[in-house]
Amino acid sequence: MFKKICQWLLALFGWQIRGQLPDSPQYLVIVAPHTSNWDFIIGVLARGALAVKIHFLGKHQLFIPPWGWFFRAIGGRPVDRRKNNNLVDAVSELYRQDPNFKLALAPEGTRSPVKRWKTGFYHIASKAGVPIVAVGLDFSQKAVVINQPLMPSADMQQDMDQLIAFYRGIRGRFPKAIPDYSADK
């Protein structure tokens, strides 16, 4: 029922899903560009339309009353960014504990323009041994675009260049530049 409602809402708003998620028990989804609060709503509707349970991390302030229960119910896990915690190890452990764990992250970490993406997602996928699935929210075409999975390799620069190249063709609600990746920065 929820799947049909999400499919109906996406169609009502003129959105379509292009591509498909892998038929794999575990993977890490990165969603970009992150430019608007609408990204979350479109993402949740797309996840519901695809009928796949994918968790997400959110700032801890989202998980306090009165809405905390809602964000947990739809798969959210709070992260306190004020604390220096080893998030890569903690999330990798979630993959070890749950053979069907899937997670979605925004590599930019914010809706504001950034000079460099956060690379925690890459390190999580590497440590957990799971593929990265790039998903773009293209507001210019009203399409959720799902790219082929990328298994992290020994060449992070090449992998990041490939991921960033995919997102250069995606337009967020408020277009912004996708920064180059350089391991030196």
Q: What is the pLDDT of residue 109?
A: 62
* pLDDT tens figures, 10-25: 999 999 999 999 999 9
* pLDDT tens figures, 126-172: 999 999 999 999 999 999 999 999 999 989 999 999 999 999 999 98
* pLDDT tens figures, 102-115: 999 988 765 566 67
State which H helix or E strand residue 7 sits in. Answer: helix 2-12
| Cβ-proximal residues to 131 (8 Å cutoff; 6+ apart), any chain | 22, 24, 27, 28, 125, 149, 150, 151, 152
| pTM for the predicted model, two decimal places | 0.88
Q: What is the pLDDT of residue 84?
A: 62
More confident residue, 63 or 6: 6
More confident residue, 102 or 75: 102
Q: What is the pLDDT of residue 82?
A: 62
